[in-house]
Amino acid sequence: MDRIRIQLIALLVILIFCIPALTVQSNTEPSGTVTITVSSLNVRDGASLKHNVIAQVKENQTFPVLQTKDNWIQILLDDNLKGWIASWHVEVKQSGTTSSTYVTPMLEVLNVRSGPSTSFQVIEQITNTESYVRLESQGDWIKIRLKNGAEGWTAGWLMKDNNSASSSSPSAGPTLSSPPSSKATVNGSILNVRSGPDTSYSVAGQVRAGDTLVILEQKGDWLRVKKDQLEGWVANWLVKVESSLPQNQPKPQHPSEEPTIKILNPGTNLRSGPSTSSGVVKVADVGETYQVLGVEGDWYRVQITSNEVGYVAGWIVSAHGIAGVERKGIESVLKGKTILIDPGHGGNDSGAIGPHLGTLEKLVNLKVSQLLSSKLRAAGATVIMSRDEDRRVSLQERVDMSIQRQVDAFISVHHNTSENYRINGVITYFYSNGEDRDLANTIQKEVVKRTGLADLKARYGNYFVLRENPQLAVLCELGFLTNYQEEVIINTKDFHDQAAEGVFQGILKYFSDKK
C-alpha cells in the first residue's frame, strides 16, 4: 500500500512540473511566417534596437514566427537560432490567414494625422524609408500603425501598396497614351519633372508656376509631359489640367497637403533674409516643421509664428508638398571643390583582416570610397581617387597626389582593428588642430548619426598621409573589423551607403559652414 502511495505521489510531482513546461513550449510554436522586404535586415538577441546583432537575413527570405512583442517579431533561423527582427521591415502571414498589407509613403516626408482629413492635427511625420501596416481606409485616407504602436491617418493617394505593383491610390488606373490636346498648368512655385512616374525616380528638370505643359500620357496619378526640350513625369495633383481627359481615365480630385519643410539638424538657423549674411531670427531644432510661403533661390520662406516669417536654407531641410532645392544648394557649396578620396591599402596590402568572417579591409575601404565618390560628383565636386581598383599605392604617392592637385580636402577611408574584440565604433583622425580638426569633428558626427555606431570621437592621429600632407586632411575609421557585430554590419550594402553618406554629409556641412 505504501509503495502504491509513493508511486502516486511521484506521478503527481512529475505532472506538476511537466504541465507548465509544456505550456511554455506551446507559446513558442510557429504561428505563421514572415518574409523579409528589405535588402538586408539585422537579427537581434532582444526586442529593441539596443540589443546585439546576432545575424542578418536577406530580402525575400521566409522564416517561422515564434512570438511577437510590441513591434518586434521573434523568428526561427535555419540553424535553429532564435532572434528578433523589426516588424516594419517584413510581410507577415499568420497561419490560416492572408498576409498583412504594408504601405510605404511616396514622398520623402509625409504627415500622419489624428483623423482622415487635412483638418485634423499632425501627430507624426513618416519617411519613405519605412513601411507600415495598413489597418483600414475611409474615403481617400488610410489608417496605419506607426512603429511605436500608435495609429494615424495618411493621404491614400500619397501611399504605395507594397503587395502590388500599383499605388494604393483609389484613383490609380490603366496607362493612357497620348490624350489629344491635353495641357496642364503648374500650380506650385517650382515643380520637379522626374524620369519616371514615381518620387523614387531622378529629377530630370524643373518647371515653374504658370508654365504650360503638354500632356503626352497618364499613368495612375502621374502625367508624362513636355515643355520645350524637357520631357518627363509630374504628379497630377500639383498641376491644373486645362482640358478634360477621356472618360475612361478621370482626373483625380485629391487636394495637395499644405507645403512644409522639416528641420533635419539641431541648431538650424532661421534668418531674416535668403542669405547666410542675414540675421538669425530663430534657432530651430530637429523635427520642427514650418509652413512654406515661397521659394527664393535656394531658400524657403517659412511661417515661424502667426505674425513672423523667416528663411531657411533649402539644402539642409527636407521638403513636403513642394519641390526640394537640395541639389542646387549642394552644388553651390561644392562647386569648384576638388576632393581626393583615399581608399586605404590595396593590392598585396590587404590591410586588416576580419577574424570572424575573413573580411579584407582593402575591399570594404574601396566599396565605401566608390559610393562617396559618386555622391560628391553628383553634388558638383571634382573627385580624385588615389586608387579605383584593387592595386597597391604607396603612402608617399597618396600624399603627392594631394599636393600636386592642391586638393581642397583629402579623405582617407579605413576600417579599424583592436586586440580587444569588444571595442567598437567610429573614429575620425586629424593631425593639425585647425581646419583639419573642424572637418574631422563634422564628419565624425555625421557618420555616427547615419550608421548608428558608437561615437569614439574625432582625435589626433600621427599618420603619414595626415602628417606629411599640407592640404586639409582627415582619416576615417568606419568601425572595427575585430568586433564580430561590426564585421557583420560592415559587410552589408546598407552600411556601405550609410557610411559614405555620413562622410559626404560631413564634407558638405563643413564647406557649407565656411561659405
pLDDT score at 100: 65
Residue 24 belongs to some domain of the structure = no
Q: What is the CATH number of the domain that holds 297?
A: 2.30.30.40
Name the burial class of residue 36, with classes exposed (0-12), middle (13-18) and buried (19+) by CB atoms within 10 angstroms of its CB. buried
Q: What is the pLDDT of residue 185?
A: 84
- Distance in Å from the first CA to the final CA of the chain: 98
Please tell me whether residues 490 and 343 are part of one structural domain: yes
Give the pLDDT band of residue 4 (cuts 50, 70, 90). low
Identify the domain boundary among 269, 300, 324.
324
In this predicted model, what pLDDT tens digit does every residue of 373-386 receive, in sequence order?
988 887 778 999 99
How many structural domains is the chain composed of?
A: 5
Per-residue confidence (pLDDT) for residue 178, from 0 to 100: 38
Same domain, 498 and 397: yes
Mark whether 399 and 488 lie in a shared domain: yes
321: left (phi over 0), alpha (psi -120 to 50) or beta: left
What pLDDT was estimated at residue 165?
Answer: 38
Residues 6+ apart with CB under 8 A from 111: 122, 124, 125, 154, 155, 257, 260, 320
H/E run at residue 374 = helix 361-378
Say if residue 396 is in the same domain as residue 444: yes
- Where are the strands (E) in 114-211, listed by range? 122-127, 132-138, 141-145, 151-155, 159-161, 176-177, 183-186, 190-194, 203-208
Q: Could you tell me if residue 344 is inside a domain?
A: yes
Q: What is the mean pLDDT of the chain?
A: 79
Boundary residue ending a domain (77, 94, 111): 94
- Quick one: pLDDT at residue 262? 82
Q: Is residue 17 part of a domain?
A: no
Residue 37 sits in the same domain as residue 148: no
For residue 294, the model assigns a pLDDT of: 80
pLDDT exceeds 90 at position 134: no
pTM of the model: 0.43
Q: Judge whether residue 297 has pLDDT over 80.
A: no
Amino acid at 470: P
341 and 320 assigned to the same domain = no
Of 248-262, 268-282, 304-318, least confident by mean pLDDT is: 248-262
Q: Is the pLDDT of residue 105 over 50?
A: yes
Q: What is the pLDDT of residues 337-368, one digit of tens each?
A: 999 999 999 999 999 999 999 999 999 999 99
- Condensed to tens digits (0 to 9), the pLDDT of residues 428-468 reads 999 999 899 999 999 999 999 989 999 999 999 999 999 99
Nearest Cα residue to 344 out of 370, 363, 359, 357: 363
Cell numbers that stand for 439 in this block:
572637418
Q: Let me know whether 381 and 501 are in one domain.
A: yes
Residue-wise pLDDT tens digits, 142-186: 889 887 778 888 887 778 877 543 333 333 333 333 344 468 888
Q: Residue 483 pLDDT > 90, yes or no?
A: yes
Backbone phi, psi, residue 350, to 5°: -80, -10
Burial class (CB in 10 A: 0-12, 13-18, 19+), 352: buried
Identify which has the larger pLDDT, 504 or 69. Answer: 504
Give the pLDDT mean for 200-219.
78
Residue range of the domain that includes 85: 32-94
The more confidently predicted of residues 332 and 419 is 419
Predicted pLDDT at 170:
34
